[in-house]
Chains A and B, each alone.
Chain A
Amino acid sequence: MSEFLPLAEAVDRYVADGATVALEGFTHLIPFAAGHEIIRQKKRELTLIRMTPDLIYDQMIGAGCAKKLIFSWGGNPGVGSLHRLRDAVEHGWPHPIEILEHSHAAMANAFEAGAAGLPLAILRGYIGSDLPKVNDQIKFIECPFTGERLAAVPSIRPDVSIVHAQKADRHGNVLVEGIVGVQKEAVMAAKHSIVTVEEIVDELDCGPNACVIPAWVIGAVCAAPGGARPSYTHGYYPRSNKFYKDWDPISRDREAFSAWLDEHVFHTHGASA
């Protein structure tokens, strides 16, 4: 059963140094407030999992939280590169980072398999791609019924998954609306989970087919209004495209990045930047 906790306490309790952590949210509902709390608490040696690392992982990698990244598309959407990720991959700053690279289809399937309690996911994937040559977690198996060659990847089972959503009710049940990404799968695949929400309400007030994550599969629910900024929360606030563009020059330069981190993450005492 989920517990209502302040975000700082939830991160302190569930995100240990060396843990495997997935912060999900497919362009939408990216849990920036939680990522910043991980940076503030100076968590180290994390294996970070995320389909689209986006700015939040650029910031966490640049801040030195990560030793490994498992991902399928690592860019600044519509703008260009993630320069902190590139600096870590190309020059080892602030320290070298190991990468394990997949396609979106493989990661989506791996999250789903993790949620389903299976050891692996199979998909009709990676045909003709060089990705299996550089990722030893991609294998091929033969279908026992048709003989078709299919790709197999291990399921994703994070130590902790963190997602952001619109709202939770008084019991800690969570409603996700809009682009729902792999958030439900990420929560259900993980040993522990933290869900940050825009608000806590008496009733979720939703239709019977809504994407609801029941309280009893969530570890901690944390109120974090604006917790997805500068990404967006459908029905609450839009994406700040300006910030995504502004991030490009900030992230290109190590000193500018470090100054940004000091001002907007370390000196904000838990308020989301």
Chain B
Amino acid sequence: MSEHYSAAEMMTVTASRALRNGQSCFVGIGLPSEAANLARLTHAPDVVLIYESGTLETKPEVLPLSIGDGELCETALTTVSVPEMFRYWVQGGKIDVGFLGAAQVDKYANLNTTLIGDYREPKVRLPGGGGAPEMATCTGEIFITLKHSRRTFVEAVDFVTTVGFGRDGTARDGVPNIGAGPTRVITDLCVMQPDPATKELTVTSLHPGISREDVTGATGWDIAFADDLTTTAEPDDNELTVLRELKARTERHHSEA
């Protein structure tokens, strides 16, 4: 790993590059929000950011702590009701990309944010699905970003809160009016994409300084590597500067309130 940037910065910058200028993006809180706003402040100034609180075309100066921070409404083109958000904008197919995080992801890119263990007697009760279940099926495609570990990358999630490709990779086959689903998963170690045939997540790019063994050791199943495996491009100075300033502004702002 370079001394110029951290693994977390590598992840955020790589995730931000996945968004193209002009796309509309439904943004999850946390890492997806960090990446989406970095994209807006660097290579994708016209990306349209939408949060589930109903804020359309929001341009926050600082990252929101929660999905409905005042910052999102104050810097938005307009704010609609939550029923309108989910009916017209998400279900109506107006959103190109859904950008999500998760507590667990499995080899078919299914996400679990509901619980660890059994539903009626959970070991750990997590917050739940929120806006993600329909975002994953109604938007054009899904990007997922989260840190890589055996705890988060499991062979099969305990609960499918939000479908990727289902328990056997076929959940989207033959379903009308459904998006492409997860097209990439970006972690602090690598980028994964679903295999075109089996839909199993496959490593397509390793971040600089990361070995195949690093990824295998942090993944809870026997993960495959693409034949044309590449190395992810390093963050450039502008990306790092903008990201660091954004995070510093955010920290100052939230420690004041």
- Cross-interface CB contact of A124 among B72, B91, B128, B161, cutoff 8 Å: B91
Question: Which stretch (B2-10, B48-56, B146-154, B197-205) binds chain A?
Answer: B48-56
> Are B171 and A112 neighbours in the complex by a CB distance under 8 Å?
no
> B83 and A131: CB pair below 8 A?
no
Interface size class of A (residues with CB under 8 A): 35 or more
Bound form: Cα–Cα A78–B67 in Å: 8
Among the 9-residue stretches A3-11, A83-91, A250-258, A265-273, the one with 4 or more Cβ atoms under 8 Å from chain B is A83-91
A41 within 8 A of B: no
Residue-wise interface mask of A (120-142) relative to B, using a CB-CB cutoff of 8 A (1 in contact, 0 not)? 00011111111100100000000
Say whether B130 contacts A104, CB under 8 Å: yes
Asked whether B161 lies within 8 Å of A184 as measured between CB atoms, the reply is no
Question: Is A13 on the interface with B (CB-CB < 8 A)?
Answer: no
Indicate if the CB atoms of B86 and A78 lie closer than 8 Å: no
B-contacting 9-mer, from A60-68, A157-165, A194-202, A235-243: A235-243
Smallest Cβ distance from A85 to chain B, in angstroms?
A: 7
Contact check, B178 vs A127: say whether CB atoms are below 8 A apart. yes
Is there contact, CB below 8 Å, between B128 and A181? Answer: no
Shortest C-beta distance, A181 to chain B (Å), equals 5
* Interface residue stretch chosen among A31-39, A69-77, A167-175, A217-225: A69-77
B119-134 CB contact bits vs A (8 Å, 1 = yes)?
1001001111111111
Q: Are A123 and B134 in contact (CB under 8 A)?
A: yes
**Cα distance A52–B52 when bound, in Å?**
12
Residue of A nearest to B63 (CB): A78
Is B65 a contact partner of A108 (Cβ separation < 8 A)? no
Partner of B79, one of A71, A123, A180, A242: A180
Are A240 and B73 neighbours in the complex by a CB distance under 8 Å?
Answer: no
When C-beta atoms are compared, the residue in chain A nearest to B54 turns out to be A179
Q: Mark B58-86, 1 if CB is under 8 A from A, else 0.
A: 00000011111110110000011111011
Main secondary structure of the interface of A (DSSP, over half): loop
Q: How far is the CB of B253 from chain A (nearest CB, A)?
A: 9
Docked complex: B88-139 residues within 8 A CB-CB of A = 90-91, 110, 114, 119, 122, 125-134, 137-138
Determine the chain B residues whose CB is within 8 A of the CB of A146 once the complex forms: 176
Answer whether A105 and B86 are a contact pair too, CB < 8 Å, given A72-B130, A90-B125, A124-B138.
yes
The 8 Å CB contact of A238, one of B70, B137, B159, B176, is B70
The answer to whether A128 and B137 have CB atoms under 8 Å apart is yes
Q: Is A148 an interface residue (CB 8 A)?
A: yes
Which listed residue (A101, A182, A241) contacts B81, Cβ 8 A? A182
Determine which of A77, A128, A185 lies in contact with B166 in the assembled complex, contact meaning CB atoms within 8 Å. Answer: A128
Contact status B81-A184, CB under 8 Å: yes
CB pair A103–B131 under 8 Å, yes or no, is yes
Check A181 against B29 for contact (C-beta < 8 Å).
Answer: no
Q: Decide if B177 is an interface residue (CB 8 Å cutoff).
A: yes
Q: Are B133 and A77 in contact (CB under 8 A)?
A: no
B163 near A: Cβ within 8 Å? yes
Residues in A neighbouring B68, C-beta threshold 8 A: 26-28, 77, 179, 181
Which residues of B pack against A, CB within 8 Å? 29-30, 52-55, 64-70, 72-73, 79-83, 85-87, 90-91, 110, 114, 119, 122, 125-134, 137-138, 159-163, 166, 171-172, 175-178, 254, 257
- 17 A-B pairs whose Cβ atoms sit less than 8 Å apart in the complex: A26-B68, A27-B68, A27-B69, A77-B29, A77-B65, A78-B66, A85-B125, A103-B131, A104-B82, A105-B91, A123-B134, A128-B110, A128-B160, A131-B161, A146-B176, A178-B70, A234-B73
